């Protein structure tokens, strides 16, 4: 075995490895671990090294709930799955960590394509499909290499028309990191969640996530105002080569120019100015999804900007104690209740 698996203590060492990935993944960043620590959880990085250099690994955080405690790897791990030794060895270390932290199971949301080969590798390692997903698994991504004019022309006609209409009708886009803007977004989010039938993140969660990146200018709030009134808002993260549309909300008031379109186009242009390679719209509904799917109402909106769909492997669980069965039952009931 020509590699070692160990906890990484140096932030820069881990961040330098993440920046070699394509795309860069902000939920694997050191700051994302800091975000979980502010929620009262533990966070650490387990790295794979060859010749003293990180070649793989994952941010790992604990998640504590009444139904059980688990280790969670958000869009991780990132490693060479073709190596017959690395993946089994990494799983072995995960099991040791789970027992050390008294976790009932290990949950992995891999940023890996949904292929039969990947499903087999996880099944062989003892994993099973989780009842629910945690992060977006059917994603929509826009490549930012083309110039702005080319990007604009590649959009759906309706999307272009609504962006132009927003400009003509005086929609104002403001960009800020002010905490009051985050509170305003939270108010809109409660309204949006009711309209589109999904459970929103709490304000405490969004603020902790926002604060973890704010000092490094890696997150902004984009607000759209129409006739002096806030009608749409979005939180955009800028990490490495990728901008991520993480949270969004809008008023239920019917406005013909639909300001959210101009807001997104402004965010895309900002990502382009920052030299980003990708704009990740986050989750969309998979094909043939139920109308009750939490992303059903926003899929047409997101895909209208152009881009491509990336289907990720479904969230995977590795049971560690018998208590996992309780978690499986609770989450299965929630999935059925939500209609997807």
- Confidence check: pLDDT of 327 > 60: yes
What b-and-e string marks burial along 11-37, b requiring 16 or more CB atoms within 10 Å of the CB? eeebbebbeeeebbbbbbbbbbbebbe
Distance CA 163, CA 184 (A): 23
Take residue 155 and report the two structure tokens written for it: 């959009």
Q: Let me know: does 42 contact 61? Beta carbons within 8 Å.
A: yes
Read off the pLDDT band of 208 (50, 70, 90): very high
What is the pLDDT confidence band of residue 298, given thresholds at 50, 70 and 90? confident
Q: Are 141 and 312 a contacting pair, CB within 8 Å?
A: no
Q: What are the Cα distances from residue 53, in Å, to 13, 242, 336?
A: 9, 24, 45
- The greatest distance separating any two alpha carbons of the chain, rounded to the nearest whole angstrom, comes to 65
Task: Identify the residue whose tokens are 């019917």.
Answer: 254
Sequence-ordered list of residues with C-beta below 8 angstroms from that of 287, at least 6 positions apart, any chain: none
Q: Above 60 in pLDDT, residue 308?
A: yes
CB atoms within 10 A of CB 239: 25
**Per-residue model confidence as pLDDT tens digits over 69-81:** 999 999 999 999 9
Give long-range contacts, CB 8 A cutoff, 24+ apart: 307-310: 307/140, 307/141, 307/142, 307/143, 307/279, 307/281, 308/140, 308/141, 308/142, 308/143, 309/138, 309/139, 309/140, 309/141, 309/284, 310/113, 310/138, 310/139, 310/140, 310/141
Please state, for a pLDDT cut of 70, what percent of the chain lies above it: 96
């Amino acid at each position: 075995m020509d590699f070692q698996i160990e906890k990484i203590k140096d932030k820069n060492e881990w961040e330098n490895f993440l920046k070699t990935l394509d795309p860069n993944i902000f939920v694997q960043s050191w700051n994302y671990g800091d975000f979980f620590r502010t929620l009262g959880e533990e966070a650490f990085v387990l790295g794979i090294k060859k010749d003293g250099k990180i070649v793989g690994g994952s941010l790992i955080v604990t998640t504590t709930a009444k139904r059980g405690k688990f280790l969670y790897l958000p869009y991780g791990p990132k490693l060479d799955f073709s190596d017959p030794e690395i993946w089994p060895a990494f799983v072995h270390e995960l099991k040791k960590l789970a027992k050390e932290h008294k976790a009932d199971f290990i949950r992995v949301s891999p940023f890996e394509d949904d292929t039969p080969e990947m499903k087999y590798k996880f099944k062989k390692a003892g994993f099973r499909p989780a009842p629910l997903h945690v992060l977006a698994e059917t994603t929509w991504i826009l490549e930012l290499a083309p110039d702005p004019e080319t990007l604009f022309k590649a959009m759906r006609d309706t999307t272009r028309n609504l962006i132009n209409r927003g400009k003509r009708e005086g929609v104002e886009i403001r960009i800020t990191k002010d905490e009051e803007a985050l509170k305003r977004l939270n108010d809109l989010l409660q309204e949006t969640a009711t309209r589109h039938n999904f459970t929103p993140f709490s304000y405490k969660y969004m603020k902790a996530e926002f604060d973890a990146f704010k000092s490094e200018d890696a997150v902004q709030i984009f607000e759209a105002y129409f006739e002096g009134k806030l009608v749409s808002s979005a939180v955009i993260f800028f990490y490495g080569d990728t901008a991520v549309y993480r949270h969004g909300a809008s008023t239920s008031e019917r406005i013909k120019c639909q300001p959210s379109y101009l807001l997104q186009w402004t965010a895309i242009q900002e990502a382009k100015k920052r030299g980003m390679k990708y704009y990740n719209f986050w989750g969309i509904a998979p094909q043939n999804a139920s109308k009750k799917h939490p992303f059903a109402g926003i899929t047409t909106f997101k895909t209208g900007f152009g881009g491509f769909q990336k289907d990720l492997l479904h969230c995977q669980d590795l049971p560690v104690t018998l208590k996992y069965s309780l978690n499986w039952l609770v989450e299965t009931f929630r999935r059925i209740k939500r209609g997807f």
